[in-house]
Structure 1
Amino acid sequence: MIKQGTEMGEAAKSVLSVKDLTTSFLVDGQWKPVVRNIAFDVMPGETVAIVGESGSGKSVTSLSLMRLLARNQSRIDGKIVLNGKDILALSDKEMRRVRGNDAAMIFQEPMTSLNPIFTIGRQISEALTCHGDTTRSEARDETIRLLEKVRIPNASSRFDEYPHQFSGGMRQRVMIAMALASKPKLLIADEPTTALDVTIQGQILDLIKMLQEEEGMAVLFITHDMGVVAEISDRTIVMYRGEAVETGPTSDIFLRGKHPYTRALLSAVPRLGSMAGQKWPLRFPVVDTATGERSEPVAVADTVVSKTPVLEVKNLTTRFAVRGGLFGVKTGAIHAVENVSFDLFQGETLSLVGESGCGKSTTGRSITRLVEPNAGKVILDGYDVTTLDPSNLRRMRRSIQMIFQDPFASLNPRMTVGAAVAEPIIEHGLASRFEARNKAADLLERVGLSADMMARFPHEFSGGQRQRICIARALALDPKVIVADESVSALDVSIKAQVINLMLDLQQSLNLAFLFISHDMAVVERVSHRVAVMYLGEIVEIGPRAAIFGNPQHPYTKMLMAAVPVPDPDRRRERRGLSTEELKSPVRPLDYVGPMHSYREIGAGHLVRLEAAA
């Protein structure tokens, strides 16, 4: 293990040496420091992780190292030595040569980093021609080699494709190829896997490990996911409110973390397999980040699960037209949801899991008729939702509500949160405005907020608080079923734990039925009664939580389990050997007739789709 160096000799060998880094922003005419006195070294071939929750200063630190902050609004003090160059003493022209040649950066969302009007080949080639004496032909050959290196299939044929023609995981591979174009000594990866599915995340982590070994690069990895930290980093820096509160070898941080915030972060991480033999659903442990005190998780009191389903989905099929040509003629269809059937009982949580594009969210939207299904039945409280006219559909939505992934996009920025929570009650004519405001105040109190927050606007709340507001709004009509579509995937680990505990408590007190849509297998294991695994619009395995996680049968289910990051530093050098193939396309020709699949019952309620022989 390489220890952090402080002596001049050791610092001289480092790729990156940071001393007393302080970054301030101009706020109301005064400089406000947001990162204070950060110091660390990164050695050749070493991976250092900076970990912390949103607002801890991780990304500001990385942007300061690359001098990518607005000069008139920010000030960087201290010393940054990158590959022997004093970064803060360089001119803008000299700094442009450093970016790409000495250090390169991968950002969280590749679609915002790639130019949508240029092909990916041109964008990578540009990085080569700008930083070296390379002809256009040589740049094309090198770009194809880089695309192959990051495991993009058919690299030569995809050279002239545009960013929107790639999946999220493949776009992130393009960003890595671009970062590697000039063979940098340091790669800064700022949350490069946060927005990706677990299987794609596993592929990207394996790829970074492999390229690091081949190229001898140093990597500065920024994340809030402790499972990712354990799998990839040699040393870890824990940041809290702009300061480094603990630094050391990753194994020491995980096994002997001393700072309360470090212990809080580790305690909040859901671990796949931790529910074996446990009663469920199980609340997450609540940790005080100031003291590190941890309340032991307790099982939620049993909900009264009815014997008659509150929601029955039978042979649900939803397809979207694909049009082409001058007149937009229908040329095919996206088979988003294909012949999906399941029941949901009062007081139960059924989780739909799978990668992006598998049809989870479309299933939830089809059930609520936010998307019109093509075929099948959705029986809610004895009524077929698919046949309801607009007025009856409006009444039906009192019984089923939806919580979306992005709470900020779900709330009207011009409407106070009190008005947003009261609006459904008023629109459905269930109470007067005065009574609706009183109920909204009660609901905000119930979800852990205070009634005096009703006059605030969405931008005045944190992400976790905004999601609580969306939960309060979903409860306004006293629904029987709530569809939670990736409702905690964008939240930090400790906030995620709080929101999930809230949902479990509300389920117990109100006897709610949850259709929980997620790709986070560790969270699903903790909250579910039953789990359904989706692939290409179809359910390939469904059963009780213990059966799915304890005895997975379908190859796709096993692959999802294998891809989950494990917060164990002993696994740091392991390779999972995950397939680098993209999820197959759900686009089918107009005359396509899918095969009728049969299922085999493994145990009580545990069904697995039988696959046709190759």
Structure 2
Amino acid sequence: MNATLPGSRVPVGKALSREPVLSVSNLTTSFLTDGAWRTVVSNVSFDVAPGETVAIVGESGSGKSVTSLSIMRLLARNSSRIDGRVVLNGKELLSLSDKEMRQVRGNDAAMIFQEPMTSLNPIFTVGRQISEALTCHSDIGKAQARAETIRLLEKVRIPNAASRFDDYPHQFSGGMRQRVMIAMALASRPRLLIADEPTTALDVTIQGQILDLIKVLQEEEGMAVLFITHDMGVVAEIADRTIVMYKGQAVETGKTADIFHNGQHPYTRALLSAVPRLGSMKGHKWPLRFPAVDMATGQRSKPDEVAGTVDRSTTPILTVKNLSTRFDIHGGIFGRKLGAVHAVENVSFDLFQGETLALVGESGCGKSTTGRSIMRLVQPNAGKIDLDGRDVLNLDTSRLRDLRRNIQMIFQDPFASLNPRMTIGATVSEPIVEHGLGTRTQAREKAADLLDRVGLSADMMGRYPHEFSGGQRQRICIARALALDPKIIVADESVSALDVSIKAQVCNLLMDLQQSLRLAFLFISHDMAVVERVSHRVAVMYLGEIVEIGPRELVFGNPQHPYTRKLMAAVPVPDPSRRGIRRNLAADELKSPIRPVGYIAPERIFREVGAGHLVRIEEASA
């Protein structure tokens, strides 16, 4: 058998050459800072063979992304310096002119970035952008470029590819935009694909689809892949070999299975120890703190079970009944209402003092809108919200302001939610002063105490947000949320963008604060492994509705709804023995929650499959 797959350069069954596609030797990258050169990547060396996937792993600041940008020569020339050797297909890249390097990018090597929306031009259609990548690197006509673009879109599993040629980036979901970026990267059939955190911001099901897609395309095209990530679960499932980076240096290199089973460097062991594993909570009724891991030594403490129970015989501190939130869609010459986005539809649940209820689901399922509706940051259309005995939806502006002292929110991106012109002392003090709970002196004293409580110190109060790391900024946001002594905190994807060690620290902090202050958490997340660790109960949302809700141990131990099972099946498992496994997840996106004018949601029926474990009966769905 020596047939060639359609659109592929690699004959099936033909052995690939083991001559490296990419060879990096003593790569050293420095940046000009305050008049002096500061080295951020030091003497990194590795090869990538045809058809091989090499992963570079490490936390933020380890130098992994700078390594990939140095290889592609995408760093600013006037403020960066790259030394060493980078050989791609026999070409020494560091000695090429800018014009020659432009021919290499896209032709011999292509790159996928973490956030596709910053890489796609919003004013051009996706078809035009992919076609441009083709016409720049090959002598083909407009009709040929269109046909090849449609073939590429089909190859990356874009449904109805021909009809979506003229769509713009904003008309695609996050997962579909990432597929478009992969199609663009594959346009000239490069020998090397560099994927820089391509799945970090994606939901677990979309992430699973992208990983499967890269594996399939690699097999068909025989590409070498350099995969940059901090997710050890992703590394285990996709990489042949792994390079662990720490403070700009490659501290350990080897086969992925050897790295996972017999990692030698303390930082490697620390990274692996910090990874939350789905299923690790089996046999534990209450949430567990993450083990404290010393990232320098790799030493790990035994996790402590969070003490105390949740008394559900008392009155819930928050009761939500039949909550619905919709956003009208207008169009046409007269701006008539054409329909509505049914973001939240008939959602009901209780939340008790000292309890964590997790809302899980993919982007667009309505979990964040539920949190914002409860705080009345968006106005619900129907339902009832009872917060500590008060009807939230019938409060006037003044009373609502007072009520918000009892419920605060922590957002996903701390940098976006902190004022860059205010010191953190002023940021944490401001709510206390604004609500008249103390003088400025008293507010600063309380702010100092809160910063100390979240693991920072009072002498940091004069600093600005940009002077802190991502994990420290999230701690500042937690301190600000605690300033008004709330009873409920809505944590909206508050740890999703953090490195594994920082994520563990912040989750432990939240659980410690919950135990000492009897806080109730509405924990909004798509990270199933973290949710399993920190929550008492879990509610799974799909298309604005809860499809399964119950105690964490029952939902995770005996998932009943097909969507819940799909979410769990998509979670990357840090086990290299699964490297060849295909999840075979459907390449469809979350269905649209847009409904026409006059739409009436069907009555939903739930069945109880365990104590407090309710699952929606799909046969009753419209």
Q: TM-score, normalised by structure 2?
A: 0.96
Partners of 2:406 and 2:447 lie apart in 1 by 18
Q: Please tell me the root mean square deviation across aligned C-alpha atoms, in Å.
A: 1.1
**Could you say which residue in structure 1 is the equivalent of 2:249?**
243
* Among 343, 349, 356, the residue aligned to 1:349: 356
* Among 164, 170, 176, the residue aligned to 2:176: 170
Question: Aligned runs of 1:185-334 on 2, under 5 Å?
Answer: 185-303=191-309, 305=311, 307-334=314-341
Partners of 1:289 and 1:373 lie apart in 2 by 45
> Does residue 513 of structure 2 align to residue 489 of structure 1?
no
- Once the 2 structures are TM-superposed, how far is the Cα of residue 28 of structure 1 from its aligned partner? 1.5
Partners of 2:614 and 2:409 lie apart in 1 by 27
Letter in 2 for 1:276: K
Partners of 1:93 and 1:116 lie apart in 2 by 26
Letter in 2 for 1:277: G
Question: Aligned runs of 1:34-433 on 2, under 5 Å?
Answer: 34-303=40-309, 305=311, 307-433=314-440
* Among 499, 515, 520, the residue aligned to 1:513: 520
Q: Is the CA contact (8 Å cut-off) linking 1:320 and 1:334 kept in structure 2?
A: yes
**Could you say which residue in structure 2 is the equivalent of 1:6?**
none
Partners of 1:461 and 1:100 lie apart in 2 by 36
Q: Is the CA contact (8 Å cut-off) linking 1:11 and 1:17 kept in structure 2?
A: no
**Could you say which residue in structure 2 is the equivalent of 1:560?**
567
Partners of 2:95 and 2:405 lie apart in 1 by 62
- Once the 2 structures are TM-superposed, how far is the Cα of residue 215 of structure 1 from its aligned partner? 0.5
- Once the 2 structures are TM-superposed, how far is the Cα of residue 499 of structure 1 from its aligned partner? 0.2
**Could you say which residue in structure 2 is the equivalent of 1:20?**
26
Deviations 1:353-394 (A, max 9, x none): 000000000000000000100000000111110000011101
- Once the 2 structures are TM-superposed, how far is the Cα of residue 29 of structure 1 from its aligned partner? 1.6
Q: Is the CA contact (8 Å cut-off) linking 2:50 and 2:223 kept in structure 1?
A: yes
> Does residue 465 of structure 2 align to residue 479 of structure 1?
no
SS of corresponding position for 1:184: coil
Q: Is the CA contact (8 Å cut-off) linking 1:407 and 1:470 kept in structure 2?
A: yes
Partners of 2:310 and 2:604 lie apart in 1 by 33
SS of corresponding position for 2:84: strand
Partners of 2:434 and 2:608 lie apart in 1 by 46
- Once the 2 structures are TM-superposed, how far is the Cα of residue 12 of structure 1 from its aligned partner? 8.3
Q: Is the CA contact (8 Å cut-off) linking 1:264 and 1:292 kept in structure 2?
A: yes
Letter in 1 for 2:612: G
- Once the 2 structures are TM-superposed, how far is the Cα of residue 278 of structure 1 from its aligned partner? 2.0
Deviations 1:171-190 (A, max 9, x none): 00000000000000000000
Q: Is the CA contact (8 Å cut-off) linking 1:12 and 1:84 kept in structure 2?
A: no
Q: Is the CA contact (8 Å cut-off) linking 2:18 and 2:50 kept in structure 1?
A: no
- Once the 2 structures are TM-superposed, how far is the Cα of residue 11 of structure 1 from its aligned partner? 11
- Once the 2 structures are TM-superposed, how far is the Cα of residue 289 of structure 1 from its aligned partner? 1.3
**Could you say which residue in structure 1 is the equivalent of 2:462?**
455
> Does residue 471 of structure 2 align to residue 468 of structure 1?
no
Q: Is the CA contact (8 Å cut-off) linking 2:17 and 2:50 kept in structure 1?
A: no
Partners of 1:326 and 1:71 lie apart in 2 by 50
- Once the 2 structures are TM-superposed, how far is the Cα of residue 305 of structure 1 from its aligned partner? 3.4
Partners of 1:12 and 1:473 lie apart in 2 by 55
Partners of 2:310 and 2:179 lie apart in 1 by 47
Partners of 1:518 and 1:416 lie apart in 2 by 29
**Could you say which residue in structure 2 is the equivalent of 1:4?**
none
Q: Is the CA contact (8 Å cut-off) linking 2:285 and 2:553 kept in structure 1?
A: no
Letter in 2 for 1:154: N
- Once the 2 structures are TM-superposed, how far is the Cα of residue 328 of structure 1 from its aligned partner? 2.4
Partners of 1:134 and 1:210 lie apart in 2 by 27
- Once the 2 structures are TM-superposed, how far is the Cα of residue 427 of structure 1 from its aligned partner? 0.6
- Once the 2 structures are TM-superposed, how far is the Cα of residue 326 of structure 1 from its aligned partner? 2.9
Q: Is the CA contact (8 Å cut-off) linking 1:303 and 1:507 kept in structure 2?
A: no
Partners of 1:412 and 1:305 lie apart in 2 by 39
Stretches of 4+ aligned residues off by more than 3 angstroms: 303-306
**Could you say which residue in structure 1 is the equivalent of 2:3?**
none
Letter in 2 for 1:35: V
Q: Is the CA contact (8 Å cut-off) linking 1:304 and 1:511 kept in structure 2?
A: no
SS of corresponding position for 1:281: coil
Structure 2: runs of 5+ lacking an equivalent: 1-15
SS of corresponding position for 2:317: strand
Partners of 2:402 and 2:235 lie apart in 1 by 48
- Once the 2 structures are TM-superposed, how far is the Cα of residue 112 of structure 1 from its aligned partner? 0.4
Partners of 2:499 and 2:33 lie apart in 1 by 26
- Once the 2 structures are TM-superposed, how far is the Cα of residue 81 of structure 1 from its aligned partner? 0.3
Partners of 2:347 and 2:296 lie apart in 1 by 47
Letter in 1 for 2:322: N
SS of corresponding position for 1:309: coil
Deviations 1:450-480 (A, max 9, x none): 0011111111110000000100010111111
- Once the 2 structures are TM-superposed, how far is the Cα of residue 327 of structure 1 from its aligned partner? 3.4
Q: Is the CA contact (8 Å cut-off) linking 1:279 and 1:299 kept in structure 2?
A: no
- Once the 2 structures are TM-superposed, how far is the Cα of residue 323 of structure 1 from its aligned partner? 1.1
Identity between Structure 1 and Structure 2 (%):
80
Deviations 1:132-170 (A, max 9, x none): 011110000000000000000000000000000000000
- Once the 2 structures are TM-superposed, how far is the Cα of residue 304 of structure 1 from its aligned partner? 5.1
**Could you say which residue in structure 2 is the equivalent of 1:7?**
none
More displaced stretch, 320-329 vs 214-223: 320-329
> Does residue 581 of structure 2 align to residue 574 of structure 1?
yes
Partners of 1:491 and 1:518 lie apart in 2 by 13
Partners of 2:415 and 2:78 lie apart in 1 by 29
Partners of 1:361 and 1:291 lie apart in 2 by 38
Equivalent residues, number: 605
> Does residue 442 of structure 2 align to residue 435 of structure 1?
yes
Partners of 1:279 and 1:309 lie apart in 2 by 20
Q: Is the CA contact (8 Å cut-off) linking 2:56 and 2:245 kept in structure 1?
A: yes
More displaced stretch, 555-564 vs 22-31: 22-31
Partners of 2:264 and 2:367 lie apart in 1 by 41
Letter in 1 for 2:56: I
- Once the 2 structures are TM-superposed, how far is the Cα of residue 612 of structure 1 from its aligned partner? 2.5
Partners of 1:95 and 1:441 lie apart in 2 by 52
SS of corresponding position for 2:303: coil
Partners of 1:110 and 1:323 lie apart in 2 by 28
- Once the 2 structures are TM-superposed, how far is the Cα of residue 591 of structure 1 from its aligned partner? 1.0
Q: 1:266 to 1:12 in 2, by over 3 A?
A: closer
Deviations 1:103-146 (A, max 9, x none): 00000000000000000000000000000011110000000000
Partners of 1:12 and 1:183 lie apart in 2 by 19
Partners of 1:325 and 1:406 lie apart in 2 by 36
- Once the 2 structures are TM-superposed, how far is the Cα of residue 303 of structure 1 from its aligned partner? 4.7
Q: Is the CA contact (8 Å cut-off) linking 1:309 and 1:346 kept in structure 2?
A: yes
Letter in 2 for 1:167: S
Q: Is the CA contact (8 Å cut-off) linking 2:134 and 2:145 kept in structure 1?
A: yes
Partners of 1:219 and 1:274 lie apart in 2 by 31
* Among 531, 535, 545, the residue aligned to 1:524: 531
